[in-house]
Amino acid sequence: MRSLGSRRDGLAQVAIALAALGVYESMRLALRPDWPRALAHARLIAGWERANDLAWEAPLQRSLLHVPPLLDAMGAFYLVAHFAVTALFFVWLYRRDRPAFRVFRNGFLLATAAAFVVAWRFPTAPPRLAGLGLEDTLRRLTGIDIGSPGSGGLTDPVAAVPSMHAGWAVGVAAGVYRYARSRRARWLAPLYPAAVVVTVLATGNHFVLDTASGALVTALGIAVAAGWAIRPVLRLSLRRGVEQPGSSPGS
C-alpha cells in the first residue's frame, strides 16, 4: 500500500510540475514582444553595468570566440541543462526528503511566477540582440535562432531579466548543498551555477545583472516557501505553549 501511495504521489508531483510549466509557457508565449522597450531596457542595463564596471559579457565572449568547440559545448549546455538538470534534481530531492522537495518546488514556482511578472512589466532584450557588440553564438556556430525579431521561435525573446537559468541553477546548488549526504557533492554543488552564469554571459543571452536578479528571485521564492512550510509547526508550538499550565513561583 505504501508503494502504491508513493507512486501516486510521485505521479501527482509530475502532473503538478507539467501543469505549471504548461501554464507558464502558454502565458509567456501569449505576450507579444515589445522590441522598442526591450531594446531600450537592454541599453539601460548595459549603461548601468559600464558605469559600475560590471560589463563583463563582451570581454568574456571575445576571450572564448577563438575556441568554437567550447562555445558549441556551452550552447548545448544552455539548451539542455536548464530543464534536464533541474528535473533530475527534483527527482533526487523527492526521494531524499519529501518536505524539502515541497519547499523547493513551491519556491521555484513562486520565483518563476515573479520572473514572468518582471518580464511582462520590464521586457528586456538579451545582449546578443541589443546591438551591444556581442554575437549570437548559437546562431553563428550552430544555426539555431532563438528569439530574434525575425524568428518565430518558441521562446520569449525579451525576457532576459531576471535570468531563471541562473536562478534555477542557484536553487539546485542550494538544495544539493543542504541535503546531499556526500561531502564531495556538497562542495561541488556551487560549480553548477558558476558554469551556468559563465555560459549565459558568454553566449550573450543574459547580462550580469540578469544573473544576479535571477538568483535573488529564486532565493526569495524558496525563503517564502520555507516560511509557509513551518507555519503549522509554529502554530502547534504556540498552541502547546498556551495550553501548558504555568508553574507557580514557589515550585
pLDDT on residue 214: 97
Q: Is the pLDDT of residue 44 over 80?
A: yes
pLDDT on residue 137: 86
pLDDT on residue 159: 87
- The percentage of the chain sitting over the pLDDT mark of 90, rounded to a whole number, equals 61
Upper half-sphere CA count for residue 72 (Cβ side, 13 Å): 7
CA distance 201 to 179: 29
Q: Which of 227, 216, 220, 202 is nearest to 61 (CA)?
A: 202
Contacts of 86 (CB under 8 A, 6+ apart): 108, 168, 172
Q: In the structure grid, which three cell numbers stand for residue 227, read together?
A: 516560511
pLDDT on residue 230: 77
For the stretch 127-175, pLDDT in tens is 999 999 998 887 776 666 666 665 555 567 788 999 999 999 999 999 9
pLDDT on residue 229: 80
Indicate the pLDDT class of residue 209, thresholds 50, 70 and 90: very high
Mapped onto helix, strand or coil, the DSSP state of residue 225 is helix
Mapped onto helix, strand or coil, the DSSP state of residue 124 is strand
Q: Is the pLDDT of residue 195 over 90?
A: yes
